[in-house]
Structure 1
Amino acid sequence: MHAAEMAEEFPVVDMDSDALDAARLLAEHRLPGIVVTDRDGCPQSVLPASEVVRLLVPTYVQDDPSLAGVLNESMADRVVDKLGGRKVRSLLPDEPAELPRVNSDDTIIEVAAMMARLRCPLVAVMRDKTLLGVISASRLLELALAPR
């Protein structure tokens, strides 16, 4: 099976999309992450949901998780405030990691190897410079575990 056959339609956002809208998209569809494109629709990065979740936790608690027990739930409510008025690009690291992308004719093993190497739950499936779709880790496992 080739990557083009495994790929699914998947929501994408561009770098200048509203960060709060992107977070809502992640939450509403329970996505592990979302592909971030440039203005021309070419994939540039993946924004993992875990990166947005980090905004729920103040930096000092990330540094010392034992402090989490003394905070109340209202701290999590402030994530909306942290995202308001920001663009998706502001949530991405300054030095973006290698974009997980595979070619449309790559095999299931090649796709799995890319996911494993980059430890990313999504890969963009490309034909030349065109995004065909996305393969999630759960989709890959579903296909790998299917009876033959």
Structure 2
Amino acid sequence: MSARDLAEPYPHVTTDDSAVDAVRLLAERNLPALLVLDTDGTPYAAVPGSQLVRQLVPEYVMEDPLLAPVIDERHAEAMAESLVGKTVAQWLPARTFKPPYVGPDAGTMEIAATMARTHVPLVAVIEYVGDQGRLLGVVSAAALMRHLLAAGGQA
């Protein structure tokens, strides 16, 4: 089955959107990763939720994990407040990469290999017309697994 057939709509934000709105989208929709598009609609980043949580943890706690048990809920409120006034682009981890993507005719093995190689649970399906890309949808790890189970008669 081709990527075009497996692609599903996926909620996304743009680099100019509010970081608070991005966190709200991730949390309310139970998303495995945040898909971020440039303001022109091309994929900018796909960041697993765990990496976004990492952005909320103070550096001193990352350096000394023994501090984590002694930090109380007041600090949790401060973590949430640190998002206010930031755009998604300002909040994303410094080491974000373009989201993994494939063309619309890619097969399931190409999609699976891309997902496995990048450690991101979704792959964007991009159709190019000239040098302009257009997001057709996303193949998530769950959708890929559903397809593989059905193809193997295990659905």
Give, in whole Å, the separation in 1 of the partners of 2:9 and 2:59.
Answer: 35
Deviation at 1:92, TM superposition (A): 2.4
Cα 1:7/1:131, change in 2 over 3 Å: same
Q: Deviations over 1:93-130 (max 9, x none)?
A: 44532430111111111001001111111111111111
| In the alignment, structure 1 residue 140 sits paired with structure 2 residue 136 | no
1:123 matched to 2:111? The reply is no
Residue pair 2:104, 2:125 contacting (<8 A) in 1 also: yes
Distance in 2 between residues matched to 1:17 and 1:30, nearest whole Å: 19
Q: Which residue of 2 aligns with 1:48?
A: 48
How many aligned positions are there?
148
What percent of counterpart residues are identical?
Answer: 45
1:108-119 equivalences under 5 Å are: 108-119=108-119
Q: Gapped runs of 5+ residues in structure 2? A: none
Q: In 2, Cα distance between the equivalents of 1:97 and 1:56? A: 19
Give the Å deviation of 1:143.
Answer: 1.6
**Alpha-carbon distance in 2 for matches of 1:22, 1:130:** 21
Root mean square deviation of aligned Cα: 1.6
**Aligned positions of 1:70-81 closer than 5 A:** 70-81=70-81
- After superposition, the C-alpha distances for 1:15-54 in whole angstroms (9 at most, x for unaligned) are 1100100100000001011211111111111132222212
Q: 1:14 and 2:18 equivalent?
A: no
Q: CA deviation at 1:77?
A: 2.3
Residue pair 2:37, 2:43 contacting (<8 A) in 1 also: yes
The answer to whether the 8 A contact 2:55-2:91 is kept is: no
Query: Which deviates further from its counterpart, 47-56 or 78-87?
Result: 47-56
- Number of the residue aligned with 2:85: 85
